[in-house]
Amino acid sequence: MAENTETGTADLSTQQNGGRTSMGLDGLLDACLGFILSVVSVVLTYVVVVRMQSSLAHEAAYAVCMAIIVAGALALGGLFSERLQTKKGQRLLFVVYVVCAVLEIPLCYVQLFALAIPSAAMCLVAAAFIYSDFLNKLPRQSLMTSVDLLVVCVGLFMLVLINLENLTLLIVHVATVVVGVGLTTAFVMRGGSMPEFISDEDSKARHIPLRGNRRSLFAIGFMFSSIELGFWADAGIETQVIWIILGSVIAAAGLFSLFARGLDEKNYKDILLKGMSASAVILLLPVTFVSGVFKLVFLFAFVFVATLEVIVVMNAVIESARFNMISPIWLYGREASIFFFGVGSGAALFALGGVLVPTYEFALTASICIACMVLALLQIKVNYQCYPFESALEMEKADEEITSAQEQAGRYKALWQRKVQTACDRYKLSPREREVLHYLVKGRDTKYIMDTFYISQSTAKTHIYNIYRKFDVHSRQDLLDFIEEIEADSEVDE
């Protein structure tokens, strides 16, 4: 009972990086705020750049460039993830982050936009890599809340800042960067950014590439780029008002995700993943034939859905790194780069349609139709890869094999459970140690055990140490081999 009283707040005093750094509640909140402000400062830079453009074509060009630079930088970081996990690599990331964050402001206000956009993009990537291990170690509910709040903050900043005078905007911009850099500096000085080293080879071996996963990431990025359409749609509304609506929609999506925890999570995510093309047909395609304000109604309803998709995929990528014990830098470089490439591709398509409208009236309509077809094809590919079709004849032939395999798997599972039970009885494991062993043999890590039993990291590690000591093993693989080799009390022939 004493262990179960070590709930949420106690777990926030997590010993990071194998006990090298202790982060209490205040440190955790500072780190969350530092990460959020680091991202918001980049959004601020983009808003400032957009406000200073004289044409929509220039705005679109900078949006495409920023997405492509972020995608390229993430992919490059993933290739050098081993080096970036070292002290020198972390120092390099911190220097890049600080230099780019500080340069964003003067480059914006002296209108060197060709340098301000790459600087903002590199700042975003460096911040993502610096905080990657921290996000990887957050309890699941804290992670989901942090991502939701990040989206809400981005939406609110877009909503508010677009209406500020230049001087006020500059003050807010400077304050955001200064506080963000300060909190990130404190985070790095505490050693919070130093990840546990995981080689690329181990990450690749542990990574389970889900069928259709990359196409889903590209499709979601492609959907999110529909934001660009809001400025090209001829809805008779001022650009400033469109920014306000856009910020409100993004913030509303974050709030919806935050308060939608009571929904069935699996069904909620399945609906979003499998409804990409359907939402495009229902919400995006009507933009081509409705007029006036109804264009924005349909378009921003689609943006709302796309933002929910982004929230889900952000959580999924981070949770995948933690659950499979993969280097988050390696995984972000591999997965997030595809998402941003999708954003850049979609933004380029919609911008091209908008630019060609004066020459070809149907250009924007054509770009929307192409986008719907792209999403439909990607959806088909995703569904086909996740749920492959087979002919009735092949399925009929496979029935007997499947039934036999299921029976064999059932017998093996029962035998394995008896082996585990025998080991617990023979070596006199306590009730709590038996519960922990149940998850260890399933491949769960210390973090999962902490979250499941609401215990601190030190308590979880003590249970694991006691199990290893009683079985005289020294690693997870040794434990599995030990269970495999033990003779169950009621073992029968397979």
Residue 456: CATH number of its domain: 1.10.10.10
pLDDT exceeds cutoff 60 at 205: yes
447 in a structural domain = yes
Domain co-membership, 378 together with 412: no
Residues 381 and 454 placed together within one structural domain of the fold: no
The torsion of the CA quartet 188, 177, 316, 308, rounded to 10 degrees, works out to 160
Q: Residue 456 has what DSSP assignment?
A: -
Provide φ and ψ at 269, rounded to 5°: -70, -35
In a domain, 480, yes or no: yes
DSSP code of residue 356? T
In this structure, the answer to whether residues 225 and 254 fall within a common structural domain is yes
Answer whether 74's CB lies under 8 Å from 341's CB. Answer: no
> For residue 120, is it within any domain?
yes
User: What residue numbers bound the domain in which 250 lies?
Assistant: 3-386
For residue 402, which amino acid is it? Answer: I
359-416: pLDDT as tens digits:
777 787 888 888 888 888 888 776 655 444 333 334 344 444 544 554 555 566 677 7
In a domain, 396, yes or no: no
**Range scoring the smallest mean pLDDT among 142-146, 259-263, 414-418:** 259-263
Q: Beta strand 21-23 with 14-16: parallel, antiparallel or unpaired?
A: antiparallel
First-residue to last-residue Cα distance in the chain = 40
H-helix or E-strand spanning residue 297: helix 293-323
Can you state the percent helix, strand and coil of the chain, rounding each to 5?
Answer: 80, 0, 20
Same domain, yes or no: 63 and 174 = yes
**pLDDT of 489 above 70:** no
Task: Look at residue 490 and tell me if it is in a domain.
Answer: no
Contacts (Cβ under 8 Å, ≥6 apart) of 52 = 108, 111, 113
| In-domain check, residue 399 | no
What pLDDT band is residue 341 in, cutting at 50, 70 and 90? very high
Do residues 255 and 151 lie in contact, with contact meaning Cβ atoms separated by under 8 Å? Answer: no
Highest average pLDDT, of 68-72, 84-88, 168-172, 270-274, comes from: 68-72
Q: Over 50: is that where the pLDDT of 346 sits?
A: yes
Total domain count for the chain?
A: 2
Q: How long is the chain?
A: 494
User: pLDDT value at position 266?
Assistant: 65
Residues 362 and 480 in one domain: no
CATH number for 195: 1.20.1250.20
How far apart are the C-alpha atoms of 232 and 48, rounded to whole Å? 19
Of the residues 357, 386, 415, the one at which a domain ends: 386
Residue 346 has, within 13 A of its CA and on its CB side, a CA count of 28
